Each structure stands twice: as C-alpha cells, then as structure tokens.
Amino acid sequence: MTDARVLDDLAARLRSARAVAAMTGAGISAESGVPTFRGADGLWRTYSAADLATPEAFARDPDLVWQWYRWRQGIIGRAQPNAGHVALARFQSRLPGFTLITQNVDGLHQRAGSTDVIELHGNIWRARCARGCGVVRETRADPSGAGPAGGEGPLPVCPCGALLRPDIVWFGEALDPRHAGAATRAAEACEVFLAIGTSALVYPAAGLPLVAGRAGAVVVEINVDDTPLTPHADIVLRGTAAGLLPALEARL
C-alpha cells in the first residue's frame, strides 16, 4: 500500500479514535539540530553516559556534569521547533483525548505550542535540589549561549545549601511516579499509539507502546530506521518526523 493510502487510513483512525497517545524521542528534534543519543552523531557515541548522566557522576564531578548540560542548553537554546513538533501541537487542538508523552528534555514541544506534555525524563531548563529538599528552579539561559548555558559558570546552589542538579532523570533513577502513572494510563486508554523518533531501547518508556498494544490499541512507529519496536508495530511509517507528521496532520 502506498504511503499516501497508509496516511489516509491512519488519519481516518485518528479522527474516529476517542483517545490517541503519542510518545516522542530524540529523533523528532534531530531536524532542529539537537543531537540524538544513539544515532551516527549521537551523544553517547562521543560522551560517556556513566560520566555525565548518572547520580554517581554528579556526586563525583558536578562541575563536569554541569558543563555538559550547559553545553547542551547552548545547542537547544539556539534550536527551533520543526514541522514535526508543530504538527503534534496541532494534533492536540484537533484531536480530543490526545496525550503527548516525551522522552526529550529540550522543551521544543512546548515551544511549538503543545501543553500538558508528559516529560518522562525531565527538562534541561530546570534544576532541582540534589539533596531532595524539594526546590526546583528554572535555569533558562541566554539563548545565544553566552550566559551559563553553553559556557562556564559557578555551580548553582540550593537555598538549603546543597547543590542544584539538572532536573533530568538519569540512568539508574526511577521516573517521577506522577509522570509514569499518567503516561501508563494514556497508553492503556488510547486507541492509537504513535511512537515517534525513538530507538525503543530505554525502559520504562520503551514499554509504553507495548502496554498500548496489549490494551488493544493500534501501534504506529514513525522512524527513519528499524527498532526493536518494529516487529510489534501494526503500522510502520519509514521517514522523518518533520516530513510524515505534517502530512498526517494535513489529512485530519
């Protein structure tokens, strides 16, 4: 069946569904110039997650960890949402019962106009108390990257005296139960689950399309490449998020 026919059928399913859930990964932000994690230019090909994205790494060398997150803030601060992000924001206004779940920490969905985004892995523009006193701070920096984002800077300190750490879910850490619960409920309740630009390797997020499939939903994979989810997907659309999502949105 041609892609056009597949897109037409899928659009009809989305229009008639009572509830739709979409989960995005780094692939949707790739066309905004934000590096993915495991792609050819992926961050984990150059940097060690063990040295930068674990609580142990932060305890060992908070300066290094903050430098790396400020460097990423510099890249993300200069990035713009792309047509894929914009299309999903329109899905939200056109499809009642639409839930957007993301593994991304870049905030580009919100900049494209999406609201109530379930951020499973946190947000790079927030910091929270490393000791867990409850303080959470916005760290939005100067988009030119000249400010703390992208450059050096003193380590941010919590009013309680402990360090502030990036508000990111690191390897070995559990998801916030409020977000995990909301995402699981959306996966169980949806009639169509869209898995967009994710390698489907990192759990528990990678389990959500399977939860949806077991609950009877039609599982759709939108990705430029095969993933471990591909054999479990009912519909596979090979191509970029910024190409396929607007084409789908135009058919709603």
Q: Which residues pair with 236 in a beta bridge?
A: 221
Matching residue, tokens 């060690």: 48
Q: Under a CB-based contact definition with an 8 Å cutoff, are residues 200 and 209 in contact?
A: yes
Binding piece for ligand APR, criterion CB under 6 A, among 26-34, 67-75, 129-137, 152-160: 26-34
* β-pair type (164-168, 122-129): antiparallel
Among 14, 30, 101, 117, binds ligand APR (CB under 6 A): 30
- In the bound complex, what is the minimum distance in angstroms from residue 133's beta carbon to ligand APR? 24
> Contact letters (x/-) for ligand APR, 177-216, by CB under 6 A?
--------------------xxx-xx--------------
Q: What is the DSSP string of 96-144?
A: TTEEEEE---S-HHHHTT--S-EETTEEEEEEEETT-SS-EEE----TT
> And the tokens for 221?
């994979």
Structure tokens at 251: 């058919």
Residue count, binding to ligand APR (CB under 6 A): 23
At closest approach, how far in Å is the CB of 197 from ligand APR?
4
If one asks whether residue 38 binds ligand APR (CB under 6 A), the answer comes out as yes
The Cα 221–Cα 227 span in angstroms is 9
CA 68 → CA 107, 199, 217, distances in Å? Answer: 17, 23, 39
SS3 212: helix
Instruction: Work out how close the CB of 201 gets to ligand APR at its nearest, in angstroms, rounded to a whole number.
Output: 6
- Residue number of the CB closest to ligand APR reads 27
Annotated catalytic residue: which of 85, 109, 121, 232?
A: 121
Residue 246 interacts with ligand APR (CB under 6 A)? no
Residue 148 within binding range of ligand APR, rule CB under 6 A: no
Q: What is the DSSP letter of 216?
A: T
Give yes or no for a contact between 198 and 29, defined as CB atoms under 8 angstroms apart: no
Is 126 among the residues that bind ligand APR (CB under 6 A)? Answer: no
Q: Which of 25, 148, 150, 166 binds ligand APR (CB under 6 A)?
A: 25
Q: What part of residues 53-72 is at the interface with ligand APR (CB under 6 A)? A: none
Q: Which residue's CB is nearer to ligand APR, number 73 or number 227?
A: 227
On whether the CB atoms of residues 29 and 104 are closer than 8 A, the answer is: yes
121 flagged as catalytic: yes
Amino acid at the residue 44:
W
240 belongs to the binding site for ligand APR (CB under 6 A): yes
| Interaction of residue 39 with ligand APR, rule CB under 6 A | yes
Catalytic annotation, residues: 121
Binding site for ligand APR (CB under 6 A): 25-27, 30-31, 36-39, 42, 103, 121, 197-199, 201-202, 223-225, 227, 240-241
